[in-house]
Amino acid sequence: MLALSLGNIIGLVALTMTVVALTRTSNKGLLATLGAAVSLWAIHYGLLGSVSGFAVHVVAAVSLFVAHLLQRSSKRVRATTGVLFSLMGVSVTAYFGTGLADVLAAVGCVIMTMTQFTGKGDTLRVGFMTGETVFFGFALILGSVPGMIVTAGNFLAGGVGLVRRHRAAQLAGATD
């Protein structure tokens, strides 16, 4: 059964990591945590037979770890690195891609990559929610149950994280 496959079990672990990361109040360590989750997404899509899904998620995982390391770099360095990783993701998708799902993966890759390198605060989370939503179509076409769940759930998780961030900021302002 598709839902009980090893690939989908690994996808469920990746789903949990992604949602938990996005519901946290702090963005500290967010990119590294998402990098670990995206590494599992790469394995998930590889086990489902999507070479392009595997490849684009490997590139995405590496880019998340690099974005984490470059957070304190200048905006120019971050944006340039984001463009380079976006081009890598699109190139990998174009090379291994075979259809509409891969076009969606390329678009999602660019949105997510540029968000992780240039987004801060709320923009970081909204960008992730937008990019993951594009990946819903990718997951749907490939039959990734965990992928469909996480992209839908990221609206909720991202919204919860945004509300929690704003409440924490209000509480911090009230105690000053």
Report pLDDT digits (tens) over 1-40: 445 788 888 988 998 898 888 778 777 888 899 999 999 9
Tokens, residue 10: 């690994």
Tell me the C-alpha distance between 131 and 162, whole Å: 16
pLDDT at 117 over 80: yes
| pLDDT on residue 105 | 83
pLDDT of 65-116, one tens digit each? 999 999 999 999 999 999 999 999 899 888 988 888 888 888 988 998 999 8
Q: If we measure between CA atoms, which residue out of 125, 85, 90 comes closest to residue 108?
A: 90
Q: If we measure between CA atoms, which residue out of 141, 170, 129 comes closest to residue 34?
A: 129
Mean pLDDT (the chain) is 86
pLDDT at 64 over 90: yes
How many CA atoms lie within 13 Å of 1's alpha carbon, on the beta-carbon side?
4
Check residue 72 and report its DSSP letter: T
Decide: pTM greater than 0.85: no
pLDDT of 138-169, one tens digit each? 888 888 887 788 788 877 787 788 888 888 88
**Length of the chain counted residue by residue:** 176
CB-based burial of residue 86 (10 Å sphere; 0-12 exposed, 13-18 middle, 19+ buried)?
A: buried
| pLDDT on residue 174 | 65
The answer to whether 63 and 85 are in contact (CB under 8 A) is: yes
